[in-house]
């Protein structure tokens, strides 16, 4: 099948493109390389350097006629979304709508319409807000507490609308906190990548606040698998992708310190304003309907991630 991956030069998107190519699919990548890197691109993927907001993406959709779209291109920095909600909405809402509309318009004339599908990288870490049911299931009321997560929820509402009115087949994967090889250690997101990089380069990491805030850490290989199952299974709707296990940031710090052999101290800085205290996802729906469950334990995933940051060799393998 021909798959279009937006954000395919980024952390998760590039691993997904690798897997799709490995499975024998043709892959087309759209990415503006704002945070993505050329070196992440699989050499067998056809690459278009373009912004998802650009009206010219319609020409790519008309030319490529992909049956499947994995939409991962996004402004992913929550703090930037707070500082400039308009810019965030332009990328994460209007850019996403540009991708969805173009996909719908080519698929109206697509003879393989029945196999076409739109798979969206949403967030589960941020969409429920400070939930009092942990692990949190999909039916829990959404209470997004940042422009970033409001945009993700907005796109889910649009996808549901396009499904009901235009018959769009879609799956929205509400991803927890993803970590693994190729994650950008310079960004705001990704405490594992940031700590790995700092510990290995003998810099002192700073833990935000008490470090008792919890997250649900999922290895990138498990997220790739969730996308593949979303493609294969005849299901529609929203699925949490998490491990149902809470891990606090202090534990991540200690585990990585041991793995890297770092001599750094445990130093705490000020807490981030409005930072979520707990986040952990119930994945029973994905298990039952997609047949997905996380395969990587935290220790195994952290080990693989740290090894990658240590030598950055064996680039395409996870
Ligand atoms: N990493 C996580 O923990 C996590 C958690 C939940 C959801 N997600 C979602 O998964 C997706 C991938 O995230 P990631 O962690 O791989 O981040 P990433 O920054 O590595 O990947 C995003 C990619 O999108 C590209 N991009 C950004 N804006 C673009 C634009 N306007 N036009 C075209 N391309 C653009 C970037 O260059 C980059 O390659 C995102 O949609 C993100 O919101 C990630």
CB 187 within 8 A of CB 146: no
Count of residues making up the chain? 318
Which of 4, 30, 36 has the most ligand 1 atoms within 8 A of CB, as the residue to mutate?
A: 36
3-state SS, residue 250: helix
**Residue 148 CA, closest ligand 1 atom number:** 43
Q: Please tell me the predicted confidence (pLDDT) of residue 15.
A: 98
Say yes or no to pLDDT of 11 above 70: yes
pLDDT digits (tens, 9 = 90+) for 139-191: 999 999 899 999 999 999 999 999 999 999 999 999 999 999 999 998 766 99
Residue 192 phi/psi, 5-degree rounding, is -65, -45
Which of 4, 7, 34 has the most ligand 1 atoms within 8 A of CB, as the residue to mutate?
A: 7
Q: Please tell me the predicted confidence (pLDDT) of residue 107.
A: 85
Query: What is the average pLDDT across 110-118?
Result: 76
Within 13 Å, how many C-alpha atoms sit on residue 63's CB side?
8
Q: Which region holds residue 292: left if phi is over 0, alpha if psi is between -120 and 50, else beta?
A: beta
Which protein residue's CA is at the shortest distance from atom 11 of ligand 1?
A: 72
How remote is the CA of residue 133 from the centroid of ligand 1, in Å? Answer: 28
Catalytic residue, chosen from 48, 148, 179, 296, is 148
Instruction: Give the sign of the dihedral formed by CA 80, CA 171, CA 296, CA 313.
Output: negative
Which protein residue's CA is at the shortest distance from atom 7 of ligand 1?
A: 123
Euclidean distance between CA atoms 66 and 116, whole angstroms: 8
Q: Please tell me the predicted confidence (pLDDT) of residue 52.
A: 98
> Is position 296 annotated as part of the catalytic site?
no
Which of 4, 8, 12 has the most ligand 1 atoms within 8 A of CB, as the residue to mutate?
A: 12
Say yes or no to pLDDT of 7 above 90: yes
How remote is the CA of residue 263 from the centroid of ligand 1, in Å? Answer: 32
Q: Please tell me the predicted confidence (pLDDT) of residue 311.
A: 86
- pLDDT band at 235; cut points 50, 70, 90: very high
Q: Please tell me the predicted confidence (pLDDT) of residue 317.
A: 61
How remote is the CA of residue 172 from the centroid of ligand 1, in Å? Answer: 15
State yes or no: cis peptide before 135, omega within 30 of 0. yes
Q: What angle do CA 93, 98, 103 make, to 5 degrees?
A: 125
Q: What angle do CA 107, 111, 112 make, to 5 degrees?
A: 80
Please name which of 94, 68, 73, 283 lies closest in space to residue 169, comparing C-alpha atoms. 68
**Residue 190 CA, closest ligand 1 atom number:** 3
Residue 258 phi/psi, 5-degree rounding, is -65, -45
Q: Please tell me the predicted confidence (pLDDT) of residue 110.
A: 64
Residues in the ligand 1 pocket, defined by CB under 6 Å: 7, 9-13, 31-36, 51-53, 72-76, 91, 95, 121, 123, 125, 175, 177-178, 184, 189
């Amino acid at each position: 099948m021909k798959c279009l991956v937006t954000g395919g030069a980024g952390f998760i998107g590039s691993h997904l493109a690798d897997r799709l190519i490995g499975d024998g699919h043709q892959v087309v990548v759209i990415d503006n390389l704002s945070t993505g890197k050329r070196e992440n691109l699989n050499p067998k993927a056809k690459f278009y350097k373009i912004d998802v907001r650009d009206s010219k993406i319609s020409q790519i959709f008309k030319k490529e006629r992909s049956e499947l779209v994995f939409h991962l291109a996004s402004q992913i920095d929550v703090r930037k979304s707070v500082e400039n909600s308009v810019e965030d909405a332009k990328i994460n809402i209007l850019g996403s709508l540009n991708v969805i509309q173009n996909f719908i318009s080519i698929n109206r004339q697509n003879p393989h319409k029945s196999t076409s599908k739109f798979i969206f990288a949403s967030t589960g870490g941020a969409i429920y807000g400070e939930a009092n049911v942990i692990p949190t299931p999909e039916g829990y009321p959404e209470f997004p507490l940042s422009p970033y997560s409001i945009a993700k929820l907005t796109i889910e509402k649009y996808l549901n609308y396009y499904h009901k009115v235009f018959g769009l087949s879609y799956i929205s994967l509400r991803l927890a906190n993803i970590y693994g090889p190729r994650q950008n250690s310079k960004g705001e997101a990704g405490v594992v990548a940031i700590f790995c990089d700092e510990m290995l380069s003998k810099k002192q990491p700073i833990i935000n606040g008490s470090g008792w805030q919890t997250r649900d850490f999922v290895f990138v290989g498990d997220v790739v698998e969730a996308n593949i199952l979303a493609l294969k299974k005849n299901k529609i709707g929203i699925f949490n992708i998490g491990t149902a296990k809470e891990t606090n940031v202090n534990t991540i710090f200690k585990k990585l310190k041991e793995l890297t052999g770092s001599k750094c101290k445990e130093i705490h800085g000020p807490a981030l304003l409005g930072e979520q205290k707990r986040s952990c996802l119930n994945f029973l729906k994905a298990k039952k309907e997609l047949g997905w469950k996380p395969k990587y334990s935290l220790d195994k995933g952290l080990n693989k991630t740290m090894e990658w940051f240590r030598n950055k060799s064996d680039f395409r393998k996870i």
